[in-house]
Amino acid sequence: MLDRLSDRLNNVIRSVSGKSRITEQNIAEAVEEIKSALLEADVNLKVVRRFVSRTVREASGESVLRSVSPGQQFVKVVYDKLVEFLGDERQDLVLRGPDVPSVILFAGLQGSGKTTSAAKLALRLKKEGRRPLLVAADLVRPAAVDQLQQLGERTGIPVAAIPGSTDPRAVVTAGLARAKKEQFNVVIIDTAGRMQVDEDLMEEIRQVAALAKPDERILVADAMTGQNAVEVARAFHESVDLTGVILSKFDSDTRGGAALSIKTIAGTPIKFIGTGEGVEDLEPFYPERIASRILGMGDVVSLVEKAQETIDADDAEQLQKKIRSATFTLQDYLEQFQRVRKMGSVQSILEMIPGMKGNVDPDQLDLDQMKREEAIILSMTLEERHNHRIIGMSRRKRIAAGSGSSVFEVGQLIKRFDKMRTMMKKVSKNKKYQSQLMAQMGRR
């Protein structure tokens, strides 16, 4: 979402960071470019003015101008200001202990992704060991209750609903009673939305909040609506005292101004971001990590966390043993393909690796070859994947026909795999081969 802003800021950073000496004029020119980039990214005008004035004040200080590396100091100032305006630090949910039900109230306009986000958060809390219950109190939008029930079935999370009811308070009362009786320790209430903010909507949410006494009041705002999302957040915050925001559709091709404006203008932190349409596509919002990505510094911590989510520690240990003993098979190779895909797009992974953003074009990576290799392996029997040495000419012809490739391509895959397996074994025993392996992977 922040690609355009990132590109503009990176150009400014590159022009300044390499200088052995910078002047107030250099800073003024750089800050003017930053101002233009922020406005283009649809950042609120008040936020832009504050960002620029604070950056100029700190960058013009003697600690920067007389620093041994003034360019790098300037980058640090910009980074610190981005973190500050994004929200300073990670704001987690404030929930009660596991023996006492915590209530989370969801609010938002229609089309913001409110109902889906409620299910996403419920699934996340379930994985953390909580016992969530979803309450279908959106009785305005047609099929909202059905949608939540379907999401509940997909995620294995119970949904409290009263068929045919027109009173959201009755639904909430029944949901809270069920949570207490069946010992659910998190209750997530999906309230009604409207096409736009109006007093009827706010009054209904106030009544539900007074009844449920929620520990968290979360607004789901659509990142694609830009400054409108900021204004919506401010209106809801003034009415129901929000404790946080989930910014949905963060993976969309929008300018990103909402992320930089919400905390300052609406006065409430972003707690999570929606990064896709899947029920697992909800991530905590870390201001320092987002700022690091914007400035092209990568986000290694998030990359490691994504890897940990897709690769079990025991599996990783077993894989390491196979590599050391050269028993790594094509089946293992296939599983690594699939795990990397679960981590996200190649673009998103490259952005998390320091120095990669802007220096490696995802379009230049041979993703088609990876897909062809996957198709070839999938056309093999399980026996062939575990022992590729039995794949003679007749088997190669069958595999080629099944995968839509040629016998030559099947042979090339086996040859590359053999070479890679040998090199991986050497790397596991001797670090001097590490650069060779990286070069080999780069050619792939």
Question: Is position 296 annotated in a ligand binding site?
Answer: no
d(CA 116, CA 151): 7
List Cα–Cα distances, 396 to 308, 333, 391, in angstroms. Answer: 36, 18, 6
Question: Is position 191 annotated in a ligand binding site?
Answer: yes
DSSP assignment letter at 283: E
- Going 248 to 253 to 258 to 261, the CA torsion angle's sign is positive
d(CA 212, CA 11): 50
Indicate the helix (H) or strand (E) that contains 216: strand 216-222
DSSP assignment letter at 391: -
Question: Is position 249 annotated in a ligand binding site?
Answer: yes
Question: Is position 108 annotated in a ligand binding site?
Answer: yes
Question: Is position 110 annotated in a ligand binding site?
Answer: yes
Question: Is position 248 annotated in a ligand binding site?
Answer: yes
Angle (CA) 386 392 394, round 5°: 115
Question: Is position 251 annotated in a ligand binding site?
Answer: yes
Question: Which residues, 6 or more positions from 212, have their beta carbon under 8 angstroms from its beta carbon?
Answer: 103, 105, 172, 176, 187, 189
Question: Is position 112 annotated in a ligand binding site?
Answer: yes
Indicate the helix (H) or strand (E) that contains 275: none
Question: Is position 115 annotated in a ligand binding site?
Answer: yes
Judge whether 101 and 133 are in contact, CB under 8 Å: no
Question: Is position 314 annotated in a ligand binding site?
Answer: no
Judge whether 12 and 34 are in contact, CB under 8 Å: yes
- In this structure, how many other beta carbons lie within 10 angstroms of the beta carbon of residue 370? 15
Question: Is position 114 annotated in a ligand binding site?
Answer: yes
Helix (H, G, I), strand (E, B) or coil at 102: strand
- Going 314 to 315 to 318 to 324, the CA torsion angle's sign is negative
Judge whether 249 and 276 are in contact, CB under 8 Å: no
Residues annotated within a binding site? 108-115, 190-194, 248-251
Residues marked as binding for GTP? 108-115, 190-194, 248-251
